Amino acid sequence: MSNKNGSRSASITRQTSESTVALTLNLDGSGQSAINTTVPFFDHMLTAFAKHSLTDLNVEAHGDTDIDVHHTVEDTAIVLGQAIRQALGDKSGISRYGDAVVPLDEALAQAVVDISGRPYLVHGGEPDGFEYHLIGGHFTGSMVRHVFEAITFNAGLTVHVNVLAGRDPHHIAEAEFKAFARAFRQAKALDPLVQGIPSTKGAL
């Protein structure tokens, strides 16, 4: 139920011509975090993810945000997904599935997570124009889906995220991240009733 270093933790550094990301996480933490991506709204979302998934998360990232936040945000999400996959190890003893519906004032988001080993994202429900809105003046609404894509495909998760209601873009995005975090918290949890890997195939 752990990776090769004996714990459900991971530390990854990724450097490209567009960004540098150093990330550590512990899936069996208490939600402590230290996040600095130089993109304040993304820091806010990752802090919320850590807190509500009970994952300890440290991120130090910087990149060519003078061009756009896109590269730094995407690359951080890629590394987060890779770290989740590494920390999960062989997935022995996990609950595997999780779901959550989370409100934030007028916004309501639903997320369902399957630690399946099969990357798949279904994402919908954001209101028309959300993808063009600059949240905090710098984080384009389209990046929310892009972050989930990067995490999902690099972590090997099946994820459904659906916005059920919402008007304020900040609230909508935050409800999505918190719903994902709460669903992931359930899915990654170790279940004492589960013997071995929770799949009839014997592998996830």
Which CATH number goes with the domain that contains 52? 3.30.230.40
Residue 26 predicted with pLDDT over 70: yes
Token pair recorded at residue 33: 């975090």
Per-residue pLDDT, 200: 92
Q: Is the residue at 203 inside a domain?
A: no
Q: Is the residue at 202 inside a domain?
A: no
Distance CA 53, CA 81 (A): 14
**Cα-Cα-Cα-Cα dihedral of 23, 26, 32, 33, to 10°?**
10
Express each pLDDT in 44-82 by its tens digit. Answer: 999 999 999 999 999 999 999 999 999 999 999 999 999
Q: Is the residue at 197 inside a domain?
A: no
**Cα-Cα-Cα-Cα dihedral of 79, 33, 59, 47, to 10°?**
70
Q: What average pLDDT does the chain have?
A: 96
Quote the number of domains for the chain.
1
For 59, 139, 144, 166, 168, the CA distances from 133, given in Å and listed in that order, are 25, 8, 11, 14, 10
Q: Is the residue at 22 inside a domain?
A: yes
Give residue 142's domain range: 9-188
Q: Is the residue at 27 inside a domain?
A: yes
pTM score over 0.75: yes
Q: Is the residue at 91 inside a domain?
A: yes
Q: Is the residue at 45 inside a domain?
A: yes
Q: Is the residue at 193 inside a domain?
A: no
Express each pLDDT in 140-190 by its tens digit. Answer: 999 999 999 999 999 999 999 999 999 999 999 999 999 999 999 999 999
